[in-house]
Chain A
Amino acid sequence: MSQTCWNCGIAVSARFCEQCKALQPPAHDFFEFFGLSRQLALDVKDLEKRFYGLSRQLHPDLFSRKPAREQEYALEASAVLNDAYRTLKDPVSRALYVLKQEGFDIAEQGTKDVPPELLEEVFELNMALEELREGDADARAQLQPARLRFERMRDEIDAAMQLSFAAWHAGNERAKLDDVRGQLNRRKYITNLIARTDEAHVSD
């Protein structure tokens, strides 16, 4: 957020200038935008309330009689608002966002970032799934129970991730973020398995 109001020049620290009430350029950090500190364990109900409040305050229609520059800020703010809300309300995309902010580059990971036993496990699960998919009717009948097992694994990861969120909140230890990174990786593998059971249904 800029230090002085673009319109009247006084010092500003809020979304709107205290003196001339002009809308200021939006913060691009999603937490800062919502007036929140960076956190993983987020009260989603509170976030939703903030989202609806800001949607009303920032609606571009409210700025139609304002200077062009302020109209642009309103458009920009609405875009950030939607991105920020979509990213932060979902625990997985929120965790990816926080990891990126904290300097964990998820996209640059390789084999060394996955425990070998997870690769073995996922490989075996994929082999078993492929056998069911390519098997006879009896085998394919086991696809639905397999999907439910994968969903249960995903739910377990989500529960563990919530615990890691809270643990990071308590002490901001980097090791807790590394736990989250590991959980997100495992989750990706499991959700791929779920997607593959669905592919099998489509091709039937």
Chain B
Amino acid sequence: MAYSDKVLDHYNNPRNVGSLDKSSASVGTGMVGAPECGDVMKLQIRVNDVSGIIEEAKFKTFGCGSAIASSSLATEWLKGKTVDEALEIKNTDIVNELSLPPVKIHCSVLAEDAIKAAIGDYRAKQSKQAPAAAQTPAQAVA
């Protein structure tokens, strides 16, 4: 298959490969997979707890060139965005930026799923930690 120049660029020079401390409350981790291809993608974000801005994003993907490029691009886009802004990234944005062919659209879906999973994990950690005082009366009512 002929990959676009942008896919090749991300594939040959992937941005932000690596990992963040999974146990940190400021870090959200998303682990997703496409079983039909046997791909697995891990994407992590580190969020500034005060500003809500994503300061760091890392990924590691075992899969085809399009899956690697999609997740590499996603980490570039995530940095500097607030969590809410990050949730607005759509797989179609990735498809357009990388000129992915129809058979590779699922790779961009995987990257969008990874962003959502990482943010979901971060929010779950935050809600467990921060409003402990506010939660107690609510639980008493329930």
> Per DSSP, are chain A's interface residues mostly helix, strand or loop, or mixed?
helix
Flag if A126 contacts B36 (CB, 8 Å). Answer: no
Decide yes or no: A188 and B32 within 8 Å by CB, A110-B109, A111-B113, A126-B62 being known contacts: no
A64 at the interface (CB under 8 A from B): no
Q: Are B109 and A122 in contact (CB under 8 A)?
A: no
Min C-beta distance of B10 to chain A, whole Å: 18
Binds B, one of A23-31, A86-94, A112-120, A155-163: A112-120
Beta-carbon contacts under 8 Å, B36-81 to A:
36-38, 40, 42, 60, 62
Taking a contact as CB atoms under 8 Å apart, the answer to whether B34 and A109 are in contact is yes
Assuming the A-B contacts A110-B109, A110-B113, A111-B113, are A123 and B62 also in contact, with contact meaning beta carbons closer than 8 angstroms in the complex?
yes
* A-B interface pairs (CB < 8 A), number: 53
A118 — which chain B residues lie within 8 A by C-beta?
33
- Please report which residues of chain B, range 89-123, place their CB below 8 angstroms from some CB of chain A when the two chains form the complex: 109-110, 113, 117
Q: In the complex the two chains form, is B62's CB within 8 Å of A188's CB?
A: no
- Judge if B35 is at the interface, Cβ distance under 8 Å: yes
Does B8 make an interface contact (CB < 8 A)?
no
Which residues of B are found within 8 Å of A126, using beta-carbon distances? 40, 62
Most interface-central of B31, B60, B117 (chain A CB within 10 A): B31
Given A110-B109, A110-B113; A122-B33 close (CB under 8 Å): yes
Q: Is residue A13 contacting chain B, with contact meaning CB distance below 8 A?
A: no
Q: B residues within 8 A CB of A101?
A: none
Quick check: is A20 within 8 A (CB to CB) of the other chain? Answer: no
Which chain B residues have a beta carbon within 8 Å of chain A's beta carbons? 31-38, 40, 42, 60, 62, 109-110, 113, 117
The 6 closest A-B CB pairs, nearest first, are A185-B35, A192-B38, A188-B38, A111-B32, A126-B62, A189-B38
